[in-house]
Structure 1
Amino acid sequence: MGNVSLPFYFNLTMFVNIGHYRFAAFTFCLLLYSFIVCANLLMILVISHYSALHQPMYLFIALLSVNSLYGSAGFFPRFLMDLLSDVHLISPLACFTQIYVIYTYGSNELTILSIMAYDRYVAVCHPLHYHRKMTSRAVVLLSVLAWIFPALNLTAVILMSSRLPLCGNEIQKVFCANWNVVKLSCVSTALNNVLGMLLTITTVFLPLFYVLYTYLWILIVCWKKSTKFKGKVLQSCLPHIVSFMIYSVAGFCDIALSRYNLEDINPFVAVILSLEFVVIPPVLNPLVYGLKLPDIRRHILALFFHKR
């Protein structure tokens, strides 16, 4: 195995499954990407423009939109180019860069949703201490940690993967994924698997259990309160719950697809499932928060109709 070296390109093989639909797929995805950019920029603009929305809950929503723009930029430009191309080759540097951007996007999404769950937990369960705990400094610190922690973890994982000697170059996806690259290794990947499992626990399962824990306490507190109080809590928490459920389902589909034998799945279904993780959350998050939270909805209308 001493003469095995990293191939000078990877081949994204799942584009073959799109076939004659690629021009229709390109048009649809271009419109989808345009909507993602416009909708998330609108959320950021509205929240930054109106001082009434300069509150932790809305600032975290803006952070979620920034992350959606970041993740989409790491996926859509390359994907749109590949849809119009007859060959789907990507250099190792571009491949690992895409892995880093998409994986940090996914990890950031979970950490931000966890911070938003903490914000709702303090607001509902400890309302008298809310302004003392959720200060401007605390919001900035939590936001920075939400980005730095996944970035450091994923840098270590991807550096290890990039040093593996590979015996192939075919990636069964429409974008680069770390596990698909690791499977091409000519040597044992036990250390990569252990590190990957630790990363999954710290960036996926811990935030998942924390969100469930906070909402269990919110449910317990609401159980003893009036119907009016429950309605207010539901109004502020429902968009977050919906976003969390959407992301969890999309993330589960991506993880399951990477571990499953794609030859046993309908090719078109496999392509759709592989796109959920990077497409659905950035599309639905601005819709969920923009339509469900009356303060944001009112300020969006004010922005368009030039009203205060």
Structure 2
Amino acid sequence: MMHNFSYVRLFFLSGLNETMNLRVVLFSVTLLCYCCIVLINIALIVTVILDKNLHEPMYILLCTLCMNGLYGTTGFYPKILWDLRSPVHVISFSGCIVQGFVIHSFVCSDLSILAVMSYDRYVAICRPLVYHSVMSKKRLLMLISFSWFTPFYIVGTNMILTSRLKVCSPYIARLFCVNWVIVKLACFPADTVVNNIAGYIAIIVYVFHGFSIVWSYLYVIRTCVNSLENRAKFMQTCVPHLASLLIFLVTVLLDIMHTRYGSTNLPQALNNFIAIEYLVIPPIINPLIYGFKLSKIRKKILHGIIYKILVKS
């Protein structure tokens, strides 16, 4: 039976239905994972903020990436922890829209920040003589603002368009809300032409982001081939960026490919893992990669740990 929009005030999330017998274990693991994400990202953010020697474009952009990781995971973990403690897994229509906005804008912001980071490395290695004039404080602030407000505007527009749809089914077979799921639940026939156009515009914008990243690193690699000094700089500063980019692309594309072409017969636990990979792996791995690979951050963190141990002893 068709539901009128006025009756669909709650969505029922069915992603945990088959695993509720393990909810104590899942709650413990999820809470541990979220605590790790919060602690290591805050540790790196605080390290960059407090040490004036780290007030350089590369480290400030890294700090922005970690802040974005905290922002995105906050849109997922508190809700899933609440669901693991509740017998019924529901979310309001407005709550679903907000959660979808946070998660989509987190993903888009991550790609924008990685694009800015690739540009920063291009200027540092390919145009070192003009690096400080090109990556000035004003330019850096503009680039960071671009990496935050462009995704917010694009995703916000998409979510506003989605919120106007009449929804006929309250059942979502996932752990959390995303835009395309809400659109699929729209009553038939639904006027989703504008939503599709907005979605294609977003895809085009972020495909260009991808092209800019590829272009930047192609120039960086070409410059580093014949220079031992540039090769050392590439290994020290570009490898963490490329690792973050690869992890991000693999986790996001795996979810997209599984959503569009994946089998519907996979176990629910595997479906859930594929769906949340980009909310688990990048926010944990990114600060660890940079913390271990970038010598200034590694030394600062190790110095802080040693100092605390000596003070306590």
TM range (shorter): over 0.9
Q: Show structure 1 runs of 5+ residues with no match.
A: none
Specify the alignment match of 2:94 in structure 1: 93
What is the aligned partner in structure 2 of residue 161 from structure 1? 162
CA shift at 1:302, angstroms? 1.5
Do 2:3 and 2:169's aligned partners in 1 also have CA atoms closer than 8 Å? no
- Deviations 1:125-162, CA, capped at 9 Å, x for gaps: 00001011011111111111111111111111001111
How far apart in 2 are the matches of 1:91 and 1:258?
A: 23
Aligned counterpart, 1:285: 286
Q: What is the letter of the counterpart of residue 174 of structure 1?
A: L
Q: Which amino acid is 2:265 matched to?
A: D
- Indicate how the Cα distance of structure 1 residues 78 and 262 shifts in structure 2: closer, same or farther if over 3 A, else same: farther
Structure 1 position 231, deviation (Å): 2.0
Alpha-carbon distance in 1 for matches of 2:3, 2:289: 53
Asked whether the equivalents of residues 17 and 271 of structure 1 are also in contact (C-alpha less than 8 Å), the reply is no
% of aligned pairs identical? 35
Q: Which residue in 2 is equivalent to 1:5?
A: 5
Alignment-derived partner of residue 217 in structure 2: 215
In structure 2, what residue type is equivalent to 1:148? F
**Residue aligning to 1:62:** 63
Q: Deviation at 1:183?
A: 0.4
CA distance, structure 2, for counterparts of residue 248 and residue 153 of structure 1: 20
Partner of 1:206: 208
**In the alignment, residue 199 of structure 1 is paired with which amino acid?**
A
Contact 2:223–2:230 (CA<8 Å) still a contact in 1?
no
The Cα of 1:301 is off from its aligned counterpart by: 1.0
- Give the alignment's TM-score, normalised by structure 2: 0.93
The 1-side partners of 2:278 and 2:298 are apart by 26
Whether contact under 8 Å (2:114, 2:241) holds in the other structure is: yes
> 2 CA distance for matches of 1:177 and 1:268?
18
In the other structure, the counterpart of 1:191 is 194
Counterpart secondary structure, 2:12: strand
What's 2:75 paired with? 74
Q: TM-score if structure 1 supplies the norm length?
A: 0.95
The residue number in structure 1 matching 2:276 is: 275
In the superposition, relative to structure 1, how do residues 260 and 23 fare at CA in structure 2: closer, same or farther (>3 Å)? farther
**Any residues of structure 2 matched to 1:114-263 within 5 Å, and which?**
114-186=115-187, 187-202=190-205, 204-226=206-228, 228-260=229-261, 263=264
- Match runs of 1:291-306 below 5 Å: 291-306=292-307
Amino acid at match of 2:224: C
Deviates more, 1:261-270 or 1:271-280: 261-270
- Secondary structure (helix, strand or coil) at the match of 1:263 reads coil
One-letter code of the match for 1:125? C
2:2/2:168 contact within 8 Å kept? no
What root-mean-square deviation, in Å, do the aligned CA atoms of Structure 1 and Structure 2 show? 1.7
Render the CA deviation track for 1:51-75: whole Å, top value 9, x for unaligned: 1111000000000111111111111
Q: How many residues align?
A: 305
